[in-house]
Amino acid sequence: MHVRKRDSIQRTLALLITASLLYIPANLYPVMYTDALGSNEASTIMGGVVLLINLGSAPVALVIFVFSVMVPSAKLMAMFYLVWTVQRHSPLDPRQRSTLYRVVEFIGKWSMVDIFVVTILVALVQLGGLLVILPGIAAVSFAAVVILTIIAAESFDARLIWDNMDEKNSVN
């Protein structure tokens, strides 16, 4: 048995709002800069997805899109939904909401795929001045979004989902 997490809703909500605000620059600013033979180019997440599709790497583009755009958005929406339903003492099925929470917790670490790709590219593609890849500010923002959503999921007390059920059972 674990003790209740104090101020779980407020802490989770603060982390989610911060992650949502950081999600904006993570998608607007460049994730990485490439310098190939003096030609500088900045790449955003979506720009990289479009570039990969144009280069014929649609499966890689799909993986980047899913884990860099869809998963973080879905995690944020799911966590906001869970907080909202707990605050409203929603009568919605607590089993479904608990399952949603477990899914959010499980997929949390997979959102780092984009950061891993940039990190690997930076480490591997330093070809003696011919090609240089540097991480951009969006990489830092995106990593912060992922870390904050993981912490938000951990700070959320999932037992709050079941509290309303206990109140309904005691009334009957």
Structural domain boundaries, residue 115: 8-171
Q: How many domains does the chain have?
A: 1
pTM (2 decimals)?
0.78
Q: Is residue 95 part of a domain?
A: yes
Q: Is residue 1 part of a domain?
A: no
Beta partners for residue 43, in sequence order? 32
Q: Is residue 64 part of a domain?
A: yes
Q: Which two tokens stand for residue 45?
A: 């997440």
Whether the per-residue pLDDT at 113 is higher than 50: the answer is: yes
Encode pLDDT of 40-96 as tens digits. 788 888 887 887 788 787 887 888 888 888 888 999 999 999 999 888 877 778 888
DSSP state at residue 67: I
Q: Is residue 2 part of a domain?
A: no
CB under 8 A, 24+ apart: contacts of 113-121: 113/63, 113/64, 113/67, 113/68, 114/31, 114/45, 114/64, 114/67, 114/68, 114/139, 114/142, 115/139, 115/142, 115/143, 115/146, 117/64, 118/31, 118/32, 121/32
Q: Which two tokens stand for residue 119?
A: 């990190």
Q: Is residue 3 part of a domain?
A: no
